[in-house]
């Protein structure tokens, strides 16, 4: 796989109120927390440039077993004060772990398109094979594209204290994630490779497409070299006027 592994956790959501406060919590405390858990490899936050949801967050994990690992569940069932303050402000959370049956390319560029969809019943295998053999590989022939990935949802993770604070999550659907450094190339991907009529003919429905730009990323190797961050209460740090 071109990513850090063949499994990932993905979240789409909005935040009620001050997004700057969310971004500070997410960057200062939350990413460090998550990447200190065994099995979490890299965390990346993307920001929507169109209809949203505002946030797309990906956590590359060593395997789907991380979803039910004791260190992960212990962390989610013991949220910090800052996390407790933040959780009720989440809106429209779509979240889940997923396998990555196909991935091509390498590296991380600053722009992405995320296509969420549901396969028609009985078409899962055919649709997955079509995307992996005919749709995604030619995308890497375009200048400005660095990666194309197919993500298939796994069983929903267990309910935890963090989730209880924000309410039930919507299960993650199937996802195609394409990244690049040229927005025009990503527009070509949408128009020619991920066209709605083609996907519909192959059994994909409930299509939702979003454009995103890279906002913040960190990995577990960095965290291992960084002392644990002091636990803060919100707002916790000096704010820029």
108-140 in b/e form (b: 16+ CB < 10 A) is ebebbbbbbbbbeeeeeeebbebbbeebbeebb
Q: Are residues 44 and 99 in contact, defined by beta-carbon separation less than 8 angstroms?
A: no
State yes or no: pLDDT of 1 exceeds 60: no
Q: Each residue of 5-39: pLDDT tens digit?
A: 999 999 999 999 989 999 999 999 999 999 999 99
Closest among 106, 114, 115, 110 to 216, alpha carbons compared:
110
Domains detected in the chain? 7-224 (3.30.70.100)
Radius of gyration of the chain (CA): 18
Q: Each residue of 170-206: pLDDT tens digit?
A: 999 999 999 999 999 999 999 999 999 999 999 999 9
- Residue 169: the pLDDT is 94
What is the enclosing helix (H) or strand (E) of 183?
A: helix 183-188
Structure tokens belonging to residue 204: 């994909």
Higher pLDDT, 156 or 16: 16
Q: What is the mean pLDDT of the chain?
A: 94
Q: Are residues 100 and 8 in contact, defined by beta-carbon separation less than 8 angstroms?
A: yes
pLDDT > 90 in the chain, percent: 89
Peptide bond into 109 cis (omega under 30): no
Among 10-14, 80-84, 87-91, 154-158, name the one with the lowest average pLDDT: 154-158
């Amino acid at each position: 796989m071109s990513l850090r592994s063949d499994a990932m956790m993905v979240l789409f959501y909005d935040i009620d109120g001050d997004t700057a406060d969310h971004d500070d919590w997410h960057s200062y405390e939350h990413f460090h927390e998550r990447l200190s858990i065994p099995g979490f490899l890299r965390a990346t936050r993307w920001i929507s440039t169109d209809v949203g949801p505002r946030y797309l967050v990906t956590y590359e994990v060593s395997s789907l077993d991380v979803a039910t690992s004791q260190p992960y569940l212990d962390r989610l069932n013991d949220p910090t004060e800052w996390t407790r303050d933040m959780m009720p402000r989440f809106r429209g959370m779509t979240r889940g772990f997923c396998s990555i049956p196909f991935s091509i390319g390498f590296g991380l560029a600053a722009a992405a398109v995320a296509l969420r969809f549901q396969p028609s019943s009985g078409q899962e295998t055919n649709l997955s094979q079509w995307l992996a053999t005919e749709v995604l590989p030619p995308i890497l022939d375009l200048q400005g594209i660095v990666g194309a990935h197919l993500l298939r949802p796994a069983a929903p993770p267990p309910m935890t204290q963090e989730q209880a604070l924000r309410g039930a999550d919507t299960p993650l659907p199937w996802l195609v994630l394409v990244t690049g450094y040229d927005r025009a190339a990503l527009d070509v991907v949408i128009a020619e490779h991920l066209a709605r009529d083609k996907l519909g003919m192959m059994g994909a429905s409930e299509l939702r497409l979003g454009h995103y730009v890279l906002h913040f990323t960190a990995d577990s190797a960095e965290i291992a070299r960084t002392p644990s961050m002091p636990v803060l209460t919100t707002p916790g740090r000096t704010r820029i006027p």
